Amino acid sequence: MNRQMIVYDEQRQIFHLMNDNISYVFEVIEDTYLAHRHWGKRIESYSLSNKPTLKKRTFAAMNIPERPEFSLEYVPLEVSFPNQGDYREASVQIRMGNGYTVSRFSYEKFEISDGTPEFTAFPHARDLPESNSQTLTIHMVDPISSIRLLLFYTIFEDADVIIRSSKIINESNASVLIEKLFSASVDMRYDGHLCTTFYGTHQREFQLNRQSISHGKFSIGSSRGASGPQYPPYLSISKDATEFSGDVHAMTLIYSGNHLSNLERDQYNHLRLQIGLNPDTFTWQLGPGESFQSPQAALSYSDKGYNGNSNVFHRFFNNHLIPQSWVNKSRPILVNSWEMSYFNVSEKIMIDLIDSAKELGFEAVVLDDGWFGERNSSKTSLGDWEIDANKFPNGIKPLVDYAKERDLQFGIWFEPEMISPNSALMQNHPDWVMRTAEYEPLLGRSQYILDLTNEEVQEFIIELLTRSITDYGVSYIKWDMNRHITEPASTLLNQSHANEYSHRYMMGLYRILNTITTLFPEVLFENCSSGGGRLDPGMLYFMPQTWASDNTDGLDRQRIQYGASYLFPPYSLTGHVSSIPNHQTGRMTDFETRKHLASSTNMGYEMDIIQLSNHEKDIIKAHVARYKEDRDFLMESEFYRLESPFDTNHCTWMFTDKARNKIIVYLFRNTFDISELSLLIKIPFIDLKADYVEINSQMQYSGSELANCGIALENPKGDYISVRLDFEKC
């Protein structure tokens, strides 16, 4: 029997979700509403100690006439509706058949069950037999409209995360329109908090944005048809928190499409945090007897600062999100053909690449773009997934076999969601293009998007991937997506479903991904969208790694990887060593810097390894061999950020096992400052009572000395230098 982690106090009507570290508490008030009381550090019991005294206020709507002091305007709610006197942002909004959005939902009952909810339509927290979890389901009903609302709360024994989602069931005889359905909404008291989000663009993903919270509303999100690098689904609040200490509350969404995160500070200094589907691009027609389920939101809390909060997400993603066939399974060290040859790939180049990869110790080669149709540029052939006989006269299967004979895996690049105007697929199936009937679709990167709401298109992609994996024998698929949606429309959907399109597209994509990854659990799928254009927890459910950015520059990558680590375990991010001058920035950075950045992720190479001197080969051989020694440790380790490239001229992070027996520290110092005599690193995440030896220098230090005094390193002349330190407990 599972440990009881959800307790209901029947006398006080209080729900208390708890594990060893966290508590989440809310109360049923007036037998009708759900009032939030606590989300944070574990408490042993709750007796309404922080319940505020209500006072009658002018202009406040009276929900209970005989109690004029009671108004939803200043009650901290778990779920909120419009037109009930709560003028803050609603979390659920339904337009009834009469055209109004007036509804009156009341608490009805609850259910507590072991395990997590299973959703076949989209990614969700996985229920593992060896991991104790429980789910609370709250039923709320509107007896006038006969609409039922279910609120799901899941808590885990091994993760300080609360999983929330919502479901609407139409029990009436008429259709209604869902206009808003957030996955999570939490009201808290403002106490001088700061808000942390991320912004970015192609080649500059996950840029840190931390700001004070003013009165009013602050929102980030996407209406691009993908989670997007511009504003990925992440929102956190903290007071006086650092990377090393302080309370941090954070939200993310297990979803890859249009999303919205809201933060509202009202006139009474309440904070409302919300995350879910973007209502600007979403409505859903719900017929009699039908239901609609929102994506899941993951709510993370830690009292150990931003690092602690990140580690909560890292453990949860590793244990409960990534495909189970890849949990604690190392991925091959690969070399990708893209920056070596771009579209000018050929059989000879790939044979030479395989030979060089074998010599240098790599474990896989990847044939990137340019292998199909007449694909000599980005302007043609997407959709025509037939091998270019001029470049590969013997096909790809002999190359795969050649690689396997040398104990190398072989991977291949696809962009299956796209179609080129200049393609046979376009001539044969113009109706498969995402577009309106009235307007010509806009090009992005010289391509259109396939209509994934069309089941024929879904089956085309499923058959394409199935045939390619089976016929070619590849063991790795790089799945790319190089533009965002401009016309979210289908010739198949009627006009009343127009604002459902973006979500239906995601459901189509998820059906394809679920089918393919279920058929081929042994194939490694890498998520890519011009790098991090769709880097989100939803894609992590199907693909255990993501190409973090097309920008491999040794300076820019510091910020990208630092920011992405707030959500994602470093080993779920792919980083490659590329050549210099860097192809994206033209910048020259030292090999050690590029090596250490890639070694802080799921490492590979993105450069010409065929034309190397013997000295260069020896350097790369040594790097690959060293990473093989580190790989299992990195995959299972805890990751901590020590110095931020957003605030300083340095970037420092570390990896350690839970027992703190082994520690790897990487320091990146960018421009040389002549007044900086030495580089000083403090290592707080260490066993303070133990002694350590630094392997490279053979110097011995106490853990308390390294944490409180730090270790001073030489500050050599020149820009963009990097240092690795290896500590082992004595």
Give the burial class of 254: count Cβ atoms within 10 A of its Cβ; 0-12 exposed, 13-18 middle, 19 or more buried. buried
Half-sphere exposure of 692 (CA within 13 A, CB side): 29
C-beta of residue 184 within 8 angstroms of C-beta of residue 76: no
Q: Are strands 364-367 and 409-414 parallel, antiparallel or unpaired?
A: parallel
CA dist 553 and 212 (Å) reads: 31
**Active-site option among 142, 160, 368, 480:** 480
Using omega within 30 degrees of 0 as the cis cutoff, is the peptide bond preceding 581 cis? yes
Contact 276, 253 (CB under 8 A): yes
CA distances from 97 to 1, 173, 283, 287 (A): 46, 10, 14, 11
Residue 480 annotated as catalytic: yes
Whole-angstrom distance, CA of residue 586 vs CA of residue 606: 15
Catalytic residue among 369, 550, 608, 687: 550
Q: Is 367 left (phi over 0), alpha (psi -120 to 50) or beta?
A: beta
- For residue 465, give the DSSP letter: H
Strands 524-527 and 476-479 turn out to be parallel
Clarify whether 368 is annotated catalytic. no
- In the three-class reduction of DSSP (H, G, I as helix; E, B as strand; rest coil), residue 185 is classed as strand
Rounded to whole angstroms, the Cα distance separating 711 from 101 reads 62
- Do you know the residue count of the chain? 730
Q: Give the CA diameter of the chain.
A: 88
In sequence order, what are the beta bridge partners of 713? 679
Structure tokens at 69: 């002091």
Q: Which of 160, 154, 191, 207 is nearest to 566 (CA)?
A: 207
CB 653 within 8 A of CB 563: no
**Token pair recorded at residue 349:** 């180049």
Cβ atoms 255, 541 nearer than 8 A:
no
> Which residue do the tokens 């200094």 mark?
269
Cα separation, 585 vs 614, in Å, equals: 27
The full 3-state SS of 316-377, as one line of letters, equals HHHHHCCCHHHCCCCCCCEEECHHHHCCCCCHHHHHHHHHHHHHHCCCEEEECCCCECCCCC
Spatial contact of 87 and 61, defined as CB atoms under 8 Å apart: no
Which residues are annotated as catalytic?
480, 550
